[in-house]
Structure formats: C-alpha cells, structure tokens
Amino acid sequence: VYIAIGIKPNGHKEVIDYCTAPSENLEVWTDMLQNMKSRGLKQVELFLSDGVVGMKTALARTYPKAHFQRCLVHVMRNICAKVRVDDRAKIMNEFKQEHQQPNKEEAT
C-alpha cells in the first residue's frame, strides 16, 4: 500500500491518496500523482520520499515546479549502512548537527 499525505500551510495533515501495487515503479507513482492532479491537487511545493525508483521522474512530469527532498530518516539509514559500526554514533551526531543549521553558510 502506497500512501500520499498532504500537509497544508496550517500544518494539518491528511491522506490525499493511496493505492495498492505489487511493487514501486515509475508507472505506479505516475498514476498516483496523475490521480491526485485530476482530483484537483493543483500545486505541490515540496515532496518528501524515501527515494524510490521512479518517484522523481513521475513528480517532474506531473508537478514540474515541485521540489523533491529525500526523507531524513532514509538518508540517515543509508549513511549508517556505509560506515563502520564503531563510527556510526559520531557520524550521525555530526550529520544531525549539520542538518540543524539554519542555512548553508552556517553548515560546515
């Protein structure tokens, strides 16, 4: 089951679409995004996802002005998978501190 959750400017969250499919791919995400668009979702400011296959392409085709950001939790998991176990706590602490900076200039 694939679920799209929308967050309105006031912070209210709601499920705006969902579908079931045997696997994630460009066609599934394109159909889902096109369905949301046909039901009236005119604008998407930011799209957060785990970086699944086809998502960025489907988003670019359907909402070309939308920004894409990889989910922070998934980024952290990928980093942890690439570093030695003994180094993970230090690396994650440094990553979190960089991510919390208010702008690029203050991040090192």
With 90 as the cut, is the pLDDT of residue 106 above it? no
pLDDT in tens, 47-65: 888 877 788 899 999 999 9
Assessment of whether the complete model's pTM goes beyond 0.75: no
Q: How far apart are CA 59 and CA 26, in angstroms?
A: 10
Q: Residue 89: what residue type?
A: A
Q: How far apart are CA 32 and CA 18, in angstroms?
A: 7
Mean pLDDT of 90-100: 89
Structure tokens at 34: 């096109």
pLDDT in tens, 4-48: 999 988 999 999 999 999 988 889 889 999 999 999 999 888 988
The answer to whether 76 touches 98, Cβ cutoff 8 Å, is: no
